[in-house]
Amino acid sequence: MARFIDIHPENPQARNVEQAVEIIRSGGLIAYPTDSGYALGAQIGSADALTRIRSIRDLDDKHHFTLVCHDFAQLGHVVQVDNAVFRAVKAATPGPYTFILPATREVPKRLLQAKKRTVGVRIPDHVVTQALVTALGEPLLSSTLILPGETDPMTTAWEIAEALDGRIEAVVDAGDEVVGRPTTVVDLSDGHAQVLREGAGDVGPFQ
């Protein structure tokens, strides 16, 4: 059974946050709450964790993985952002959006969408997620925890632990109700907004 790590939803305990981060740093895979359901999280450099995310979610090489960032300084290290894109992303974050943008050389090739050399990025509006990314000190490799055949992300810690028994190392339980809608995904890689998935974020500004 995956380990449970309880983290306060408003005042995350540094010791408990560090427990989750140490699992990530050691190449482990965790499930953690965000502002748009649970997600799978791992270290950018962990090829094994990436393989396990692909297996759990049954993903092909067309899938865009997401790098969860603490702020724009982090985001700017992993994707290329011109002035127009900066304004669009800035106006919508933090929040339940994932933006597809050209990756920088800082991002391992295995994380990139096969043809476009792009990657997803987001800055979530969630205290626990922000605490994890801040403590990690680098963007968190992430993928919304939507199981094959489902359309909505998982929202309950104990159900995740049961469903993914033996496939992840830990589940972060923040005790609060998690919104069961995935992020809105907006492709800005060619300078024009294209909504690829309508989710928790308002699509109005990108239509």
- Residues 24-46 have a mean pLDDT of 95
Tokens representing 37 are 């359901």
Write out the DSSP string of 50-80.
HHHHHHHHT--TT---EEE-SSHHHHHHHB-
Q: What is the mean pLDDT of residues 179-203?
A: 91
Percent of the chain with pLDDT over 70: 99
**pLDDT, tens only, 86-104:** 899 999 999 999 999 999 9
SS3 content of the chain, % helix, strand, coil (to 5): 30, 25, 45
Which residues are within 8 A (CB) of 73 and not within 5 positions of it... i.e. 6 or more apart? Answer: none
Q: Among residues 205, 206, 145, 149, which one has the least CA distance to residue 181?
A: 145
Residue 203 reports pLDDT greater than 90: yes
Is residue 2 pLDDT above 90, yes or no? no
pLDDT for residue 151: 87
- Find the mean pLDDT for residues 125-148: 96
DSSP code for 39:
E
Using CA atoms, how far apart are residues 31 and 164, in angstroms rounded to an integer?
10
Q: Return the CATH number of 3-206, one of 3.30.465.10, 3.40.50.300, 1.10.3720.10, 3.90.870.10.
A: 3.90.870.10
Question: How far does Cα 117 stand from its chain's mean position?
Answer: 18
For residue range 47-61, list pLDDT tens digits in order.
999 999 999 999 987
On the 0-12 / 13-18 / 19+ scale of CB atoms within 10 A, 198 is middle
Q: 3-state DSSP call for residue 122?
A: strand
pLDDT band at 11 (very low <50, low <70, confident <90, very high): very high
**Average confidence (pLDDT) over 134-141:** 97
Looking at residues 109-118, what average pLDDT do you find? 84
- The dihedral of CA 104, 17, 148, 152: what is its sign? negative
pLDDT grade, residue 178 (50/70/90)? Answer: confident
| Banded pLDDT at 75 (limits 50, 70, 90) | very high
**Burial status of residue 25 (CB atoms within 10 A of its CB: 0-12, 13-18, 19 or more):** middle
Would you state the structure tokens that stand for residue 102, as one six-digit string? 């050209």
For the segment 120-129, what is each residue's pLDDT rounded down to a tens digit?
A: 999 999 999 9
Q: Give the pLDDT confidence score for residue 102 in this predicted structure.
A: 95
> pTM (2 decimals)?
0.93
The SS3 call for residue 6 is strand
Kind of pairing, strands 170-173 and 30-34?
parallel
Residue 179 is predicted with a pLDDT of 76
Mean pLDDT of the chain, nearest integer: 92
Q: What is the pLDDT of residue 147?
A: 94
Average pLDDT score over residue span 146-173: 93
Can you read off the two tokens belonging to residue 103?
Answer: 């990756």
**Contact 88/111 with Cβ under 8 angstroms?**
no
Residue 185 near residue 120, CB atoms below 8 Å: yes
